[in-house]
Amino acid sequence: MLTNLPNFLEAITAYKKRAGIEAMFKDCKSGGYNLEASKASNERATRLVLLIAIADTFSTLKGQSIR
């Protein structure tokens, strides 16, 4: 892995964060949510994204508690 960050651990942490963000964008655009094809108004789309974020957070926390 090539990076301009000062140490390897910092680079791995940044990469993990970015990977999660990229996965979320894929889900929102062309994945299961398909928001790009949605005809929702700006306000409605914002509410939908907020609901998706809450559901994703809940699912993640629930999954971590099961481990």
**pLDDT tens readout for residues 19-41:** 888 887 777 777 667 777 777 78
Assigned token pair, 36: 């790009």
Write the DSSP string, 29-65. Answer: HTSSS-GGG----HHHHHHHHHHHHHHHHHHHHHHHH
Q: At 61, is the pLDDT very low, low, confident or very high (cuts 50, 70, 90)?
A: very high
Can you tell me the mean pLDDT for 6-22?
88
How many Å is the Cα radius of gyration of the chain?
16
Whole-model pTM?
Answer: 0.50
Q: At 9, is the pLDDT very low, low, confident or very high (cuts 50, 70, 90)?
A: very high
- Report the C-alpha gap between 50 and 59 in whole angstroms: 14
